[in-house]
Amino acid sequence: MAIKYSRQRQLIKDFLMTRKDHPTADVVYMNVRQKYPNISLGTVYRNLSLLSELGEIRRLRLGDGIDHYDADTSDHYHVICTQCGGVSDVKADGIGDILGNANIEYDGEIQGHVTYFYGICEKCLKSAARNDLLIGC
């Protein structure tokens, strides 16, 4: 049960730490393969799960059916773009108090909550503006 070092796990975490776009397992796989060509997709999945359980990274389930991963484990929130599916950070102070402020009626035991946002990211907003211009031509 003791956790042993593995070069593959190290590379996975190193890669995640360079990224702010919350990549999926597949994206991690594609990228780590550049440095370590015969890493297996299963190894990526296993280590992303392990690192999540250890609290070294965070697994994001944002309603698109694909798990995203984030090396930034500090408390923050996410926006998923309804147009491109991209995930970006959003600073939203005050949501953490949601449980305290909310008037919750529930007969079980509430342990935590998940909140995420959806909308249109900056990139897609800009390309939409560009398309509007083109239509005018």
Partner DNA sequence: TCCTAAATCAATAATGATTACTATTTTTAT
Partner DNA sequence: ATAAAAATAGTAATCATTATTGATTTAGGA
Per-position b or e across 107-133, b if 16+ CB within 10 A of its CB:
eeeeeeeeeeeeeebeebeeeeeeeee
Interacting partner of 26 out of DNA, a copy of itself, none (Cβ under 5 to 8 A depending on kind): DNA
Half-sphere exposure of 55 (CA within 13 A, CB side): 2
Burial class (CB in 10 A: 0-12, 13-18, 19+), 64: middle
Which of a copy of itself, DNA, none does residue 92 bind to, with CB < 5 to 8 Å depending on kind?
Answer: a copy of itself
Among 7, 20, 113, 131, binds a copy of itself (CB under 8 A): 113
* Residues contributing to the site for DNA (CB under 7 A): 1-9, 24-26, 36, 38-43, 45-47, 49-50, 65-67
Query: Using CB under 8 A as the criterion, which residues of the chain lie in contact with a copy of itself when the complex forms?
Result: 61, 63, 65, 79, 81-82, 88, 90-95, 98, 101-122, 124-125
